[in-house]
Structure 1
Amino acid sequence: MKSFIILPLMIMLGIILLTGPKASADAGMTQDSLIYCSEKNISHMNPQRHPISSMASSISFAVYDRLLSIDPQTKSTRSSIGTLEKIYQNDTVYVFNIAKDISFQSNQFFTPTRKLNAEDVAFSFDRMINKDNPFYRPIEDFPYISHMDIVNNLISVKAVGPYKVEFKVKQPTNLLQPFLATDNSVILSKEYADTIIKKNLPIDTIDHYAIGSGPYQLNTFVRGRYAKLKKFYDYHGPKPQVQNLILTNSYRANKLLYKLFTGECHIISNPTASQMSFLQKVPEDFNILQKNTINGTFIIYNTKKPYLSTGALRRTLSSMFSLEELNSTVFFDQGHYIVELFDEKPANFLKIQNNSPSPATGSSSIDDVEKELLGENVSKPLVHERSDKFVNQFNEDIPEYAIPKKEIPEPGYELFAHVLTRDEYLEAYETLKQQEIEITIFQSNVISNTAHSKIAQFLKSNFEKKGIKARIKTYRTNQGQNRLKKGLFDIAIVNVYSDSESLIYQMISCRKNNRRRSSLNSNISYTGNYTGWCNDTLENMYEDLSYLDKNDPDAIRLQKYIMNILVNEMPVYPLIYNINLFVAMEYIKGLEPTPYGGVSFINAYIEKNRGTDK
């Protein structure tokens, strides 16, 4: 399979080595224009209407401002155009001061008559919660907050002075400021909204014909294809050096790379694993920049299905394939194991404590699998490997505030390493053999779908080698989303675009609004719990974890506790993650990653005296 993918890339490599990518790129290059090509679709010019993605983040930093921002190094919130003044009334009222002398852009419908003020900030978030707001939309239309509880907790957002805005919440929360700092939480113009109403324009005008206060303003937008931006000369911050910016997307992975070499793109986002292997052969021609987020691939199980209803059933099915083989076959050994984010070794995640870590290829009968799993000692119990260090240390010095609120058993052997006995395993295996497991993937125009198809084929092959029938079903995004919501699936392959801290939580949260309001977006970025499984104890642990620094020893112990529960129950199976990257021609300088995986062009420039000789 690898040879069929690598061959055309090697042909391209030969052409480039002879002609050089600069020659073709220079043909379409001007000193005042940049073209950014992403695998993500441009459905709206308002990031509020996007899921968290590289494209939404890039639009946000090009066209808009945010009240707060995320420090890319510490991940803590910091001031942007707003500064927190005070929190009062038992931590339920937040007051922010707004920076002055910030100008809005203009377009064919609107010319601003005033500067940005508190009314604009209040309007931007009021439309999410106030049904009387003419621009109100249901929460499902703001995909980036579908996995957050904050909007359901917001009572009101209002201006309490010309440059002072107040957020009131029902209950104290640590989520408000991170929510306001999310790349998608942009500030809109209320005066523009009023003009849209006055001119009787469609309400969606505000989301398609963008008006912001960022360094670039919209010139042309063709939905689903491209956006042309131009320098905004009244921007309140450092002026961008590049005059024109074009944001576009490509439906095909190979076409994205091809455009990089022909000069139709100067920067591309998230090349595939095979493309990265290829690009590394000509490293002097490119800048490869790492983003601050990761793209994780998971299997989710429908725990409401009788044949997937227990941890033993799900663990047994998961033991039918090897993560290492998956990485080699599908990701060309370019992927990273998600369990390594939590200090777990891939081989130990489902390791059985004997000499045979998994069923050998070709087993088809209970007796064969039993013999290969248990060796000569068929009475030996099957146990996944546990972290003894964590078990022994968990309760020694963990602070009281970090102890789960629900009563739970003492964290000992039973909790951390449930024994999967011989009878449990064989019973689970016999149950699975009686079923045909449906593997759900989603039809999409994004690169990750190619990997999903290969993963599905890999799983099907491995299941069938163990005597478990399987079939692959591909659904359109909306149809697949509805099937997941209704529980009409067995297992599904999904992507999570996130930082490591929230990578798993959003898929197993107990919060009702998380399940009800979550949706798979057009880019298959998974942000909800469709497994039918959640755990109050785990929910409380994640709550306590949110108050701790990720490097705090207590946080590390809590994370270990969480991982052991997930290994026992296995509502989701973590596969492979890739660091989100973008690749630019080597003469494009000054690009910076944004907190949520996009690229900021504010300091970007094109090296003038680059020449053509190496």
Structure 2
Amino acid sequence: MNACFRLLLTCAGLLGLTACSQPQHDNTIRQWGFIYCGQDTPWTFNPQLTDGGHTADSLAAQVFDRLLQLDPISHLPQPALASSWSVSEDGLEYTFTLRKDVRFQQTANFAPSRHFNAEDVVFSFKRVIDPKHPYHSVSGGHYPWFESQSFGQLIDSIDSLDTSTVRFTLTRPDNAFLSTLSSSYAAIHSAEYADQLLREGHPDYIDTKPVGTGPFYLAEYHPHDLIRLKRNAFYWRGAPFMNQVVFDISSRGTGSLAKLLNHECDVLSSPVASQLPVIKNNPDFELIAQTAMNVAFLAINNNIPALQDVRVRQALNLAINRENLLDSVYYGTGTKAKTLLPPMSWAHDAHLTDVNYDPDTAMALLKEAGYSNNLHLILAVPMEPRPYNPSPRKTAELIQADLRAVGVDVTLLLQDRPLRPGSVAQKGIDLTLTGWVADNGDPDNFLRPLLSCSAKQAGLNVANWCNLQFDNLLELASRTTKLDQRMDYYQYAQGILRDEVPIIPLAHGIHYQIHHKSLHGLHLSPFGTRSFSNVYRSE
């Protein structure tokens, strides 16, 4: 290994990638890998345990593969670890044929003795749904994204028919099932590694020192400093071009844009919208954009007595000036949200009228509800920029000013990182500024995990809202085989959200990414996940 390159890596490990002098000038170093800025510090490396809104998608996509993957254009499931599948006529049995000769990663903790097979698929999903499984309670036993989907109630059995065939039997038809298996949360783990960890007495390592079949394996982790992934030379799609990827997760020193301009980072994900003009005029960098399946919204805690009054929720909705948000936060790059579903979703109800900014009506509703100049709310604000919200703090300050204008006093609770679902701290919050990046192209992926009664039980429904009519519409939509009926059910559901206002949709953002012009193959996905296996340097 080049001596200067070793020096860079040593500095990165010790100083969070901020103290090495001008590594950008050594082209030998740059051909070995790249440094990625814009990923926050994960609290787990297992996407099964994450809540959906803040999972480390870019990271998970490098370590893990799924049975299926989504086509970025059609949004339809495509083969991945499963080479093909069939569905029974009643829609209850899904049989998958698995790829052969797929190897799990070899790491400092694990050397696989066999290839990926059906045993690994059964292990990966039974851990999630079976409370008696030896790994179910490891790392807390909470799988919020799957719980919000009622995944455990959906699966009747998972069976290994032979080493290369797996059958899922459902309790009811579900049109979104294949899309669910395509999401980043449906990661496939090694059952052999899990058995080894049980024998060694360290079952938690499966989540902190993961092993998957993806293009890169976790080689090094320094909390709040860096995550280093190294090339999986035996990756089944072909070895990645880059030897390693380093995620800069440090919060010390200069900001991400400055690091990019100083060539301390090669890639910057989700830049603040106001930074875009700086990059557009810089010939050293390339700016790429992807219309994403996302939404920024304000979740209203329906457990709070004052917020249980629909008039109060409607008043908050009317008091927010969305056009001002688009101008001041998105700088013309976003679109106003009428509903949770973005315009590119096939179930988006384009006939819904815009919510007009109407502070006078908002004040009248508050007065009618008995909250004229005497409503005090706490708004939780995660500070990390996201594709759906490039500047959360500024967004929150504008909302604070809008609500103050109608007599609602709002205190901002700024968070370096979002609260975990169902946490004690989260329960004292009145409003939460948050959002969602879809995991797949099915409308159910927005509505069910964010607002269903199951999602409320799982803690992922930050609005703490449960409406049986809304849930029934989602259930009907998941069972019917007729697309026009599904469309009707989802549009009725959007109408309920419009009337009841459990959340306030704000905007749909565009996902931007900036990278050095020498890097190629850094494609974006509308679902926030993409592999770095085809990334290479031209200089």
The two structures share one fold, judged by TM-score above 0.5: yes
* Residue of structure 1 equivalent to 2:331: 332
Q: Does 1:532 align with 2:465?
A: yes
Is the aligned partner of 1:452 residue 2:392?
yes
* Residue 459 of structure 2 corresponds to residue 518 of structure 1: yes
Q: Cα–Cα, structure 1 residues 322 and 265, in superposed 2: closer, same or farther, change >3 Å?
A: same
Cα distance, 1:291 vs structure 2: 4.3
C-alpha contact (below 8 Å) 1:35/1:267 kept by paired residues: yes
Q: For residues 216 and 284 of structure 2, what CA distance do their matches in structure 1 show?
A: 28
Between 1:76-85 and 1:185-194, the stretch displaced more is: 76-85
2:76 corresponds to = 76
State the AA in 1 paired with 2:447: Y
Q: CA deviation at 1:252?
A: 7.7
Could you tell me how far apart the structure 2 residues matched to 1:190 and 1:508 are? Answer: 31
Residues 448-499 of structure 1, C-alpha deviations (whole Å, 9 max, x = no match) = 898333333323323333334443345674489535875x443332222226
- Structure 2 residue aligned with 1:377: none
Contact 2:380 2:429 in 1 (8 A): no
Task: Indicate if the aligned counterparts of 2:98 and 2:164 stay in contact, CA closer than 8 A.
Answer: yes
Q: Which structure 2 residues correspond to residues 19-30 of structure 1 after superposition, within 5 A?
A: 25-27=24-26, 29-30=29-30
Q: Residues 565 and 206 of structure 1: is their aligned pair in 2 closer, same or farther, counting only changes over 3 Å?
A: closer
| Preserved CA contact (<8 Å) 1:506 1:529 | no
Partners of 1:87 and 1:221 in 2: how far apart?
41
Change (3 A) 1:292 1:84: farther
Matches within 5 A, 1:190-205: 190-200=191-201, 202-205=202-205
Separation in structure 2 between the aligned mates of residue 454 and residue 107 of structure 1, nearest angstrom: 43
Cα distance, 1:428 vs. partner? 4.1
The equivalences for 1:231-246 within 5 A come to: 231-246=231-246
Aligned ranges for residues 297-312 of structure 1 at < 5 Å?
A: 297-312=296-311
Confirm or deny that 1:441 pairs with 2:380: yes
Question: Aligned partner of 2:463: which letter?
Answer: Y
Query: Which among 438, 461, 481 is matched to residue 498 of structure 1?
Result: 438
Post-superposition Cα deviations, 1:521-577, rounded to whole Å, max 9, x if no partner, equal xxxxxxx253435251x3344445557999x77666655544443332222111123
Q: 1:325 to 1:344 in 2, by over 3 A?
A: farther
The residue matched to 1:174 in structure 2 has which SS? coil
The alignment partner of 1:245 has SS state of: strand
What's the counterpart of residue 169 of structure 1?
170
Comparing 243-252 and 66-75, the one that deviates more: 243-252
Measured on the aligned residues, the alpha-carbon RMSD in Å equals 3.5
- Of 505, 524, 535, the match for 1:593: 524
Label 1:61 to 1:307 Cα distance change in 2 as closer, same or farther (>3 A).
Answer: closer
Residue 515 of structure 2 aligns to a residue in which SS?
strand
Q: Which moved more, 1:239-248 or 1:562-571?
A: 562-571
1:171-570 superposed matches below 5 A: 171-200=172-201, 202-251=202-251, 255-282=255-282, 284-291=283-290, 293-339=292-338, 341=343, 342=348, 349-351=354-356, 358-359=358-359, 369=360, 425=364, 428-429=367-368, 431-442=370-381, 451-474=391-414, 477-478=418-419, 481-482=422-423, 486=427, 488-498=428-438, 501=443, 505-506=447-448, 509-511=451-453, 513-519=454-460, 528-536=461-469, 538-545=470-477, 560-570=491-501
- Mean Cα displacement is larger for which, 262-271 or 133-142? 133-142
Shift of 1:271: 0.6
1:302/1:531 contact within 8 Å kept: yes
Secondary structure (helix, strand or coil) at the match of 1:592 reads coil
Q: Give, in angstroms, the shift of residue 266 of structure 1.
A: 0.9
Paired with 1:464 and 1:325, the residues of 2 have a C-alpha distance of 15
- The alignment covers a number of residue pairs equal to 505
Whole-Å separation in 2 of the counterparts to 1:345 and 1:172: 29
When residues 127 and 255 of structure 1 are mapped into structure 2, their CA distance, relative to the original with a 3 A threshold, is same
Larger Rg: 1
The one-letter code of the counterpart of 1:230 is: K
- Secondary structure, in 3 states, of the residue corresponding to 1:125? helix
Distance 1:55 1:307 in 2: 32
Q: How does 1:147-166 map to 2 (within 5 A)?
A: 147-166=148-167
Return the offset for 1:605: 0.8
Distance 2:148 2:291 in 1: 19
State whether residues 70 and 77 of structure 1, in contact with CA within 8 Å, keep that contact through their aligned partners in structure 2.
yes
Residues 151 and 253 of structure 1: is their aligned pair in 2 closer, same or farther, counting only changes over 3 Å? farther
What CA distance in whole angstroms lies between the structure 1 residues aligned with 2:123 and 2:488?
42
C-alpha contact (below 8 Å) 2:102/2:236 kept by paired residues = yes
Q: Residues 225 and 169 of structure 1: is their aligned pair in 2 closer, same or farther, counting only changes over 3 Å?
A: farther
SS of corresponding position for 1:264:
coil
Take 2:489 and 2:224, find their aligned partners in 1: how far apart are those partners? 43
CA deviation profile, 1:71-105 (whole Å, cap 9, x unmatched) = 11111112112145444494333221111111222
Q: Is the 8 A contact 2:456 2:466 kept in 1?
A: no
| Change in 2 beyond 3 A, CA 1:452/1:35 | closer
User: CA separation of 1:293/1:26 partners in 2, compared to 1, >3 Å: closer, same or farther?
Assistant: farther
CA contact (8 A) 1:507 1:529 kept: no
Mean Cα deviation higher: 64-73 or 593-602: 593-602
Q: 1:172-221, CA deviations, whole angstroms, 9 ceiling, x for partnerless residues? A: 32233222111232221111112222233x11112222222222233223
Maintained 8 Å contact 1:27/1:263:
no
Alpha-carbon spacing, 1:461–1:155, altered in 2? closer, same or farther (3 Å): same
Question: Does the CA-based 8 Å contact 1:150-1:176 persist in structure 2?
Answer: no
Q: How far is 1:114 from its partner?
A: 1.4
Contact 2:419 2:426 in 1 (8 A): no
Higher mean Cα deviation, 107-116 or 253-262? 253-262
Q: TM-score, normalised by structure 1?
A: 0.73
Equivalents in 1 of 2:449, 2:213: separation in Å? 35
Worse overlay, 450-459 or 226-235: 450-459
Listed one character per residue, the Cα deviations across residues 410-466 of structure 1 (whole Å, up to 9, x for unaligned) are: xxxxxxxxxx9xxx9457456221522303214555668983333333233233333
Distance in 2 separating the partners of 1:153 and 1:504: 18
- Cα 1:345/1:465, change in 2 over 3 Å: farther
Tell me by how many angstroms 1:51 deviates.
4.1
- 3-state SS of the aligned residue for 1:314? helix
Q: Taking structure 1 as reference, are residues 241 and 324 closer, same or farther at Cα in structure 2, changes over 3 Å only?
A: same
Give the direction of change, closer, same or farther, for the CA distance of 1:161–1:490 in structure 2 (3 Å limit): same
Letter of the structure 1 residue corresponding to residue 159 of structure 2: K
Letter in 1 for 2:165: K
Secondary structure of the structure 1 residue equivalent to 2:181: helix
Cα 1:595/1:334, change in 2 over 3 Å: closer
Aligned match of 2:19: none
Structure 2: distance between partners of 1:39 and 1:113: 33
**Aligned partner (choices 572, 593, 606) of residue 537 of structure 2:** 606
Aligned counterparts of 1:579 and 1:24: Cα–Cα separation in 2: 31
Query: What runs of 5+ residues in structure 1 fail to find an aligned partner?
Result: 1-22, 352-356, 360-368, 374-419, 520-527, 609-614
Write out per-residue CA displacement over residues 258-300 of structure 1, whole angstroms, 9 at most, x where no aligned residue. 1212222111211111122332333x33222334634422122
The residue number in structure 1 matching 2:503 is 572
Percent identity, please. 23
When residues 569 and 166 of structure 1 are mapped into structure 2, their CA distance, relative to the original with a 3 A threshold, is: same
- How far apart, CA to CA, are the structure 1 residues paired with 2:527 and 2:252? 23
How many Å separate the matches in 2 of 1:543 and 1:480?
A: 24
Distance change (3 Å), C-alpha of 1:227 and 1:446: same
